[in-house]
Amino acid sequence: MAEAAEGKNNRLSASEVGKALRAGKPVTLKDGGSLSLIVTGKNAGKWVYIGRKSGDRTNIKLICGYAPETGLSAARAKRDEYRLLLKQGINPNEQRREELAEAKRKKQEAEKTFSVVAGEYFRIRKDMTEKTRQGDMGRVENHINPFIKNIPIVDIRRKEHLKPIIDKLVAREAHTQARRVAGLIERIFSYAVDAGYIQGTPADHLTRLVPRQGRGEMKHHPAITGKEEAAAMFRKLWAYMESGRSGPSIVAAMRLSCYLPVRNGNMIAARWEDIDLKKGLWTFSQTKNGRGYTVPLSRQMKEVFAALAMFRRGAWCFPSGSNTGHVSNGGLIKVLRAAGIPQGEHCLHGFRSTFETLALEAGIPKLICERALFHVAGDSTEQAYNRAEYMEPLGLVLQWWADTVDALRDGEDVPPMPEKLIAAYR
């Protein structure tokens, strides 16, 4: 009986199949067991099995492969596989469609990495100021992407992926930055929920991972303020910058961090339209206190920009391949550490403290120091005073400071307070 069934179901031979395919004439060859070879052209055909689900009288057409790639024995094996599925009440065509849909869904999920979703978030946030956008993009680049940049958003977990990001910042006692990064992550994941990429967010209340600081616990930014220590720091920085281990953009930004006591977030986002080398002016359209400022360029700052201008490309003064298009604070911090300046000893913001301490020690008026730091100084009358009136003394102080940096670096005496300042503020 088994042999009779075998002969009834398997009527074709491999030679018959090969002969029909070589002939190429449209024909249907029945193998039995509802399996047929439909020849569609020279050396071209497809294996078709007609079956029914258990308890259903509707015929289902199933493709068992394409000839000659799929041979006779392989087509029979596929038919038997389909026959078993139909007995179980499964439609292989529907199963295949579901498998393809699932594969497509997984592919789409894999493509929606954190970095991709963060990019979408920034594109839709038209309400952001450019300063806020650049700050948040810098946080993604420096503090978040190193951990989860290429992980699909659906696979990111709170404990495994997000908590370590915040923990690292807290361990550095960078509590303010930790809160900002946590809040940014919360907003990006909320967008992912709204966009339908994830069902729920693992970032809810992520800011709670940042310890609360009691009154009086706020710590100052670490800064080198002594002359000897500052001299050693500048020597280390210049030795590193002249070693060729960093590109021209990051080196130029680092030199200007030393020469100009400006907040680095304002400096690194400088555009060429902000720089007037002929007049020797650098304009900052908006700073932390909401005001715009213009500062005179010292001789050293002019030299830095003149060198950068020789290789100018695009709008940014300090271009890079980052998402922001310009160098980041993180890149400058890496220079500090690579130059051998420890984390707890000095930070980027510390250059402002270095300037103010040494400037006040040299007798530079507090009002001009505050102006150089972009602080709102003085009483209401002084604040209302035409800020252009401070340009000359500000220029003198900034040139004094650039010369002081060079003198400390080269082991020379700090230059005295400029004579014109002495006369004006006697």
> Which pLDDT score is estimated for 129?
83
Q: Which residue has the higher pLDDT, 1 or 32?
A: 32
C-alpha to C-alpha distance for 413 and 426, rounded to whole angstroms: 23
Examine the pLDDT at 287 and tell me if it is beyond 80. no
> Which pLDDT score is estimated for 201?
92
| Both tokens assigned to 285 | 């359209």
| Both tokens assigned to 402 | 């650039």
Weakest mean pLDDT among 52-61, 154-163, 245-254 = 52-61
pLDDT tens digits for 297-351? 999 999 999 999 988 888 999 998 877 788 888 889 999 999 999 888 898 888 9
Mean pLDDT calculated for residue range 35-59: 91
Weakest mean pLDDT among 7-16, 24-33, 264-273 = 7-16
Examine the pLDDT at 388 and tell me if it is beyond 50. no
Mean pLDDT calculated for residue range 119-127: 90
Same domain for 92 and 120: no
Q: Is 216 within the bounds of a domain?
A: no
Examine the pLDDT at 375 and tell me if it is beyond 80. no
CATH number at residue 162: 1.10.150.130
| Both tokens assigned to 78 | 């596929």
Residues whose CB falls within 8 Å of the CB of residue 381, separated by 6 or more in sequence, listed in order:
none
Last residue of a domain, one of 54, 89, 107: 107
C-alpha to C-alpha distance for 390 and 384, rounded to whole angstroms: 12
C-alpha to C-alpha distance for 187 and 209, rounded to whole angstroms: 16
Examine the pLDDT at 143 and tell me if it is beyond 90. yes
Write out the residue range of the structural domain in which residue 357 sits: 227-424
Which run of H or E residues covers position 109? helix 92-111
> Which pLDDT score is estimated for 5?
40
C-alpha to C-alpha distance for 273 and 309, rounded to whole angstroms: 12
Q: Which residue has the higher pLDDT, 67 or 6?
A: 67
Cβ atoms < 10 Å from Cβ of 384: 9
Mean pLDDT calculated for residue range 277-281: 93
CB 305 within 8 A of CB 275: yes
Q: Which residue has the higher pLDDT, 378 or 425?
A: 425
**For the chain, percent of residues with pLDDT exceeding 90:** 52
Same domain for 94 and 147: no
Torsion angles phi and psi, residue 172, rounded to 5: -85, 0
Residues whose CB falls within 8 Å of the CB of residue 215, separated by 6 or more in sequence, listed in order:
none
> Which pLDDT score is estimated for 379?
45
Cβ atoms < 10 Å from Cβ of 179: 17
> Which pLDDT score is estimated for 133?
86
Q: How far apart are the first and last CA of the chain?
A: 122
Same domain for 324 and 281: yes
Same domain for 332 and 203: no
Examine the pLDDT at 290 and tell me if it is beyond 60. no
In 3D, which of 199, 197, 169 has the Cα closest to residue 184?
Answer: 169
CATH number at residue 271: 1.10.443.10
Burial of 225 (0-12, 13-18, 19+ CB in 10 A): middle
Same domain for 262 and 372: yes
pLDDT tens digits for 80-121? 999 999 998 888 888 888 877 777 767 766 788 999 999 989
Last residue of a domain, one of 181, 209, 237: 209
Q: Which residue has the higher pLDDT, 226 or 55?
A: 226
Q: How many structural domains does the chain have?
A: 3
Same domain for 321 and 249: yes
State the chain's mean pLDDT as an integer.
85
Q: Is 219 within the bounds of a domain?
A: no
Last residue of a domain, one of 209, 242, 258: 209
Please report the DSSP string for 200-232 in residue order. Answer: S-TTTTGGGGSPPPPTT---PPP---SHHHHHH
